């Protein structure tokens, strides 16, 4: 560090350390008398019989001149009078290229107990402001994802943010693993937020595999961890992606799931006294969502192409979180349980999905062919019941006849095994060859 930088940080230094004492613990919330701290600051609570054990906690509010803290670890050993030390700054994590291939928790620590973080990493704050909207370059370049249905019908641009909406067990994790292995991004950052502990290793070994892990940083905050740790998992993953974007790289950020992030914020909001609103979600949830989601995208250095999964209860696409996220992002892919039950994977419902950026980054032939496929699928879908019961007679409508004849070809085009890798150019060429007017179809 040069002398000028050292001099510039002198005014921010203080010779004092601020301490407080725990007065009570109610549910998820720890109340303490002192220390002097600001919202979002990291504190350490000294607990255990010898007072040598340190629990990380964050300042989440104030009540009657007391500080409200939320723990990042458990609260088991905290007792009245436990010492609280203020750090005077928010949580920071260590980031760097040496982190690629590693699995970390929401605080940026390695999940494997027998290893320590690599040397040469840089401290980076977890809660950053989104890029200035006027400094965001427009999205003009396609991102190859290696999934034929998306590359051809919902072409994604570098820096676009997409929601993946689905109920449980419809193939979200499998789709994320295909994106991690097949995409042309320089590095992947995957956040598993509120995931079952059993499924973490399944995802790493079965879905992601060694090939996918080699260019991935995995951030894990399981469902058994405190609500604040699940929120920090999402923030840390976004911060790691921002670090790589600042290096001029094209990053894929995948988060599973935003819904569990929102549920964790609801827990915290209710614990500190916020009023519940729509479906029990507190106002802070709907303030936190854009703060998190707007951090991805393009800036003057690089891009973060982001995929956020949203769990929809009972496949209800209009529940509060799904509705809020859909309004913020640049498109959405809807995974349909009916299609999954038919054995169509990835189970993307073409008629309910959209990419808001596609029209700006593809040529006219590609766009018109994709519209033609959607039109044929729509015609078939509208008349499927009549077709299945034999009430439709061939020749009654030229459009319906065409939709019936080309439907099996479209389904075959949309299906893709997890081991099949196709480039974006191959996907587009096949789309045009099979379905363009005057093409081979």
What is the structure's pLDDT at 441?
A: 42
Counting as low any pLDDT under 50, the low residues of the chain are 439-441
What is the per-residue pLDDT for 10?
64
| Residue 44 falls inside a structural domain | yes
Do 380 and 343 belong to one domain? no
Which of 333, 361, 389 corresponds to the end of one domain? Answer: 361
Residue 193 tokens read as 């937020």
User: What is the model's pLDDT at position 13?
Assistant: 62
Same domain for 418 and 343: no
DSSP string covering 129-184, please?
A: PPPPGGGSPPP-SB---S-HHHHHHSPPBTT-EEEEEE-TTSSHHHHHHHHHHH--
Answer positive or negative: Cα dihedral of 180, 162, 309, 423: negative
Are 294 and 179 within one domain? yes
Gap between the Cα atoms of 329 and 52, Å rounded: 45
Query: Reduced to 3 states, what is the DSSP secondary structure of residue 259?
Result: helix
**pLDDT tens track for 382-393:** 998 888 888 888
Domains held by the chain: number: 3
> Same domain, yes or no, for 156 and 274?
yes
Residue with tokens 């959405």: 332
Cα(253)–Cα(190) distance, integer angstroms? 6
Is residue 297 included in any domain, yes or no?
A: yes
Question: What is the model's pLDDT at position 426?
Answer: 96
Looking at the domain assignment, is residue 277 inside a domain? Answer: yes
Q: What is the pLDDT of residues 150-164, one digit of tens each?
A: 999 999 999 999 999
Domain co-membership, 221 together with 291: yes
Q: 347 with 378, same domain? A: no
User: Are 425 and 314 members of one domain?
Assistant: no
Residue 310, strand partner residues: 165
Residue 216 backbone phi and psi in degrees, to 5: -130, 140
Question: What CATH number is attached to the domain comprising 29?
Answer: 2.40.10.170
Residues 276 and 329 in one domain: yes
User: Does a structural domain hold residue 440?
Assistant: no
**Residue 8: inside a domain:** no
337 in the same domain as 241: yes
Within a domain: residue 126? yes
Q: Per the domain annotation, does 3 fall within a domain?
A: no
Looking at the structure, tell me whether residues 58 and 113 fall in a common domain. Answer: no
Distance between CA 253 and CA 308 in Å, rounded?
A: 8
Q: 246 and 187, same structural domain?
A: yes
Q: What is the pTM of this model?
A: 0.91
Tell me the two tokens of residue 137: 């370059």
Cα separation of 406 and 408, whole Å? 6
Domain that holds residue 152: 93-361
Of 90, 120, 135, the residue that ends a domain is 90
Cβ atoms of 297 and 136 within 8 Å: the answer is: yes
Domain boundary pick from 39, 59, 90:
90
What is the spatial distance between Cα 368 and Cα 382, in angstroms, rounded to a whole number?
21
Q: Identify the CA nearest to 170 among candidates 378, 290, 347.
A: 347
Q: Tell me, what CATH number does 235's domain have?
A: 3.40.50.12240
Task: Answer yes or no: do 288 and 381 share one domain.
Answer: no
pLDDT at residue 73, as a whole number: 81
Contact 117, 110 (CB under 8 A): yes
Q: Is residue 262 part of a domain?
A: yes
With vertex at residue 286, the alpha carbon angle to CA 128 and CA 302, rounded to the nearest 5 degrees, is 35
Is residue 90 within 8 A of residue 127, CB to CB? The reply is yes
């Amino acid at each position: 560090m040069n002398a000028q930088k050292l001099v510039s940080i002198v005014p921010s230094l203080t010779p004092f350390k601020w301490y407080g004492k725990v007065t009570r613990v109610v549910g998820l919330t720890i109340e303490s008398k002192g220390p002097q701290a600001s919202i979002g600051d990291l504190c350490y609570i000294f607990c255990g019989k010898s007072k040598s054990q340190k629990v990380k906690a964050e300042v989440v509010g104030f009540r009657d001149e007391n500080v409200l803290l939320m723990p990042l670890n458990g609260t088991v050993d905290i007792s009245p009078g436990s010492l609280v030390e203020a750090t005077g700054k928010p949580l920071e994590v260590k980031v760097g290229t040496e982190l690629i291939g590693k699995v970390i928790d929401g605080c940026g620590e390695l999940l494997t107990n027998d290893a320590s973080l690599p040397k040469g990493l840089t401290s980076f704050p977890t809660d950053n402001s989104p890029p200035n909207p006027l400094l965001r370059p427009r999205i003009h370049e396609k991102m190859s994802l290696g999934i034929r249905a998306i590359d051809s019908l919902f072409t994604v641009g570098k820096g676009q943010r997409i929601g993946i909406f689905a109920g449980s067990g419809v193939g979200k994790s499998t789709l994320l693993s295909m994106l991690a292995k097949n995409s042309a991004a320089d590095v992947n950052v995957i956040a598993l937020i509120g995931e079952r502990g059993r499924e973490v290793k399944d995802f790493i070994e079965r879905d992601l595999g060694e090939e996918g892990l080699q260019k991935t940083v995995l951030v894990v905050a399981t469902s058994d961890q405190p609500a604040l740790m699940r929120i920090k998992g999402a923030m840390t993953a976004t911060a790691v992606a921002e670090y790589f974007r600042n290096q001029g790289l094209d990053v894929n950020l995948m988060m599973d799931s935003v819904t569990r992030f929102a549920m964790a914020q609801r827990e915290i909001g209710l614990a500190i006294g916020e009023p519940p609103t729509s479906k029990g979600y507190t106002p802070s949830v709907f303030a936190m969502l854009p703060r998190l989601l707007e951090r991805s995208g393009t800036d003057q250095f690089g891009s973060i192409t982001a995929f956020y999964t949203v769990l929809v209860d009972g496949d209800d696409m209009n529940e509060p979180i799904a509705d809020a996220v859909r309004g913020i992002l640049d498109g959405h892919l809807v995974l349909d349980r009916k299609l999954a039950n038919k054995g169509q994977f990835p189970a993307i419902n073409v008629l309910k999905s959209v990419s808001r950026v596609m029209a700006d980054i593809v040529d006219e032939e590609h766009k018109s062919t994709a519209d033609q496929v959607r039109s044929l699928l729509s015609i078939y879908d509208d008349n499927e019941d009549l077709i299945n019961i034999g009430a439709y007679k061939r020749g009654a409508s030229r459009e319906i006849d065409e939709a019936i004849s080309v439907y099996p070809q479209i389904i075959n085009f949309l299906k893709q095994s997890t081991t099949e890798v196709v480039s974006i150019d191959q996907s587009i060429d096949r789309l045009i060859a099979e379905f363009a007017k005057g093409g081979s179809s």
